[in-house]
Amino acid sequence: MHFFTGIQETQDLCQKWRDKVESIAFVPTMGCLHEGHLSLVEKAKSLAQHVVVSIFVNPLQFDDVNDLAKYPHTLEDDRLKLEELGIDLLFAPDVDAFYPEGEHAVKQTDLGQITAILEGAQRPGHFAGVATVVERLFGLIQPNIAIFGEKDFQQLMVIQKLVKEFSLDIEIVGMPIFREEDGLAMSSRNLRLTEAEREKAAEIYQQLALLRKEILAGANNFAVLEQLAIENLIKAGFEPEYVVIRETSTLLPPVNHSDDKVILIAAKLGETRLIDNIRV
Ligand code: PAF
């Protein structure tokens, strides 16, 4: 496995593969790799000749400086895990190498409405930061395929919009959420939960499953269902930010009962903000 922190060496190696018409699958991450990430890497291995993983905690996508400061960094562990999986290249730049013009001087990518609702409304500027870093990574690596987890459901839609808007020839693959035994969606942020919080954290998944069951049984008063889950989460000790039932392809409120739906929750448990979703 190559381990690069520099832009030029990364660009050169990827260019060498492309010159030989060898395919590249790319998994962008912010590190602190768990089984969910590793499933993305396994998928990447099955889809292309070369696998590139990036680890970069992108300051542009954090709306809260404390959140950025507390983000876990586990590069040595991550490196070993990726080495074991046999990927071709781990790219882990530092902020100055990645944004040589200075992170505050970077012109950010704006993808419109999809970036303004839900996570975008709760975390202003978050998706502009995500789109900016992913656009730059795509430009550097120029993969054939890029793989993202569906836990960040809205992020996946933002990336699909990015690829469409800039006519990038990259196939975007979404992978199902990996869950702990009690249903908690795997996330690097779970490490921040105290023992007592960790015991409660799967309540988010239980509320998603409950709403899904109600909808499948014919319930269609979505506002009532959303409110019910909010109250249950508050009772369990969460501070819910949103519980919404949305149309899958737009993330807007469903118009027809037959629309494909996704239920999305964001809630704080103590100091930790958790998100999760389930399709109906
Ligand atoms: O999902 C993440 O880990 C990040 O948002 C991503 C896609 C690596 C961009 O920084």
DSSP annotation string for 74-95:
-HHHHHHHHHHHT-SEEE---H
CATH number assigned to the domain with residue range 188-279, chosen from the 4 options 3.40.50.300, 3.30.1300.10, 1.10.10.10, 3.90.105.10:
3.30.1300.10
% residues pLDDT > 70 (the chain): 100
Q: How far is CA 117 from CA 78, 223, 242, 246, 253, in A?
A: 32, 17, 11, 11, 11
Describe the crossing of helices 126-141 and 153-165 by its angle, rounded to 10 degrees.
50
Confidence of residue 188 (pLDDT cuts 50, 70, 90): very high
Cβ atoms 17, 25 nearer than 8 A = no
Alpha carbon of 266 to ligand 1 centroid (Å):
17
Q: Which tokens sit at 86?
A: 């046999």
Q: What is the pTM of this model?
A: 0.96
The domain limits of the chain are: 2-175, 188-279
Atom 3, ligand 1: which residue's CA is nearest? 29
Mean of the per-residue pLDDT values for the chain? 97
Whether the predicted pLDDT of 162 surpasses 90: yes
The distance in angstroms from the start CA to the end CA of the chain is 40
Residue to substitute in 56, 155, 159, 178 for testing ligand 1 pocket (most ligand atoms within 8 angstroms of CB): 155
Distance CA 240, CA 232 (A): 10
User: Quick one: average pLDDT of 55-62?
Assistant: 97
Distance CA 277, CA 204 (A): 9
Whether the predicted pLDDT of 129 surpasses 90: yes
What pLDDT is stored for residue 257 in this prediction?
A: 75
Q: How far is CA 50 from CA 54, 78, 81, 169, 262, in A?
A: 13, 18, 17, 17, 33
With a 6 Å cutoff on the Cβ, whether 28 touches ligand 1 is yes
With a 6 Å cutoff on the Cβ, whether 29 touches ligand 1 is yes
Amino acid found at 229: A
Which CATH class name applies to 2-175?
alpha beta
Atom 2, ligand 1: which residue's CA is nearest? 29
73 a catalytic residue:
no
Q: Which of 84-88, 107-111, 209-213, 239-243 has the lowest mean pLDDT?
A: 107-111
Q: Give me the catalytic one of 37, 73, 104, 126.
A: 37
- Token look-up 């509320």 returns 207
Confidence of residue 158 (pLDDT cuts 50, 70, 90): very high
Q: Identify which of 233, 176, 177 has the alpha carbon closest to the alpha carbon of residue 204.
A: 233
Alpha carbon of 233 to ligand 1 centroid (Å):
27
Atom 1, ligand 1: which residue's CA is nearest? 29
What pLDDT is stored for residue 35 in this prediction?
A: 96
Distance CA 222, CA 18 (A): 49
What pLDDT is stored for residue 263 in this prediction?
A: 98
Confidence of residue 265 (pLDDT cuts 50, 70, 90): very high
Confidence of residue 256 (pLDDT cuts 50, 70, 90): confident
What pLDDT is stored for residue 160 in this prediction?
A: 98
Q: Which tokens sit at 209?
A: 């499953």
Alpha carbon of 149 to ligand 1 centroid (Å):
9
What pLDDT is stored for residue 23 in this prediction?
A: 98
Alpha carbon of 274 to ligand 1 centroid (Å):
15
With a 6 Å cutoff on the Cβ, whether 130 touches ligand 1 is yes
With a 6 Å cutoff on the Cβ, whether 152 touches ligand 1 is yes
% residues pLDDT > 90 (the chain): 95
- Grouping H, G, I as helix, E, B as strand and the rest as coil, residue 9 is helix
Model pLDDT for residues 10-22, shown as the tens digit of each residue: 999 999 999 999 9
What pLDDT is stored for residue 244 in this prediction?
A: 98
Model pLDDT for residues 134-153, shown as the tens digit of each residue: 999 999 999 999 999 999 99
Model pLDDT for residues 223-252, shown as the tens digit of each residue: 999 999 999 999 999 999 999 999 999 999
